[in-house]
Amino acid sequence: MLDGNAIAGLLQEVFSAEMTTAIGTCGACGTAGPVGAAHLYRGAGIALRCPHCDAVLAKIVRNDSRVWIDLTGIRTLEVTV
């Protein structure tokens, strides 16, 4: 067994990919589509909602030095690398 450091290069490749064209699958209804087509709501942070069932796909909160990302609502995310 290795630890997460063993996939440092893969993680860097995945998280630097163009994310608006990544295909996300909604954890609630199973619909797949580009992240850029999700509905965006702004408040204290950002919420991305499924355009088909309105479930929350992702929540993003940012301050001056950090970003918190909750992808609980996305079952899978397919990115082009």
* List of residues contacting Zn ion (CB under 5 A): 26, 28-29, 31, 50, 52-53, 55
Q: Between 10 and 53, whose beta carbon lies closer to Zn ion?
A: 53
Is 50:41 a contact under the CB 8 Å cutoff? no
Is 56:49 a contact under the CB 8 Å cutoff? yes
Q: Between 7 and 29, whose beta carbon lies closer to Zn ion?
A: 29
33 vs 10: CA distance, rounded Å: 23
From the CB of 45, what's the least distance to Zn ion, in Å? 20
Q: Between 28 and 61, whose beta carbon lies closer to Zn ion?
A: 28
Alpha carbon 14 to chain centroid, angstroms: 11
From the CB of 23, what's the least distance to Zn ion, in Å? 13
From the CB of 49, what's the least distance to Zn ion, in Å? 8
Which segments of the chain does DSSP mark as H helices, in order? Answer: 8-15
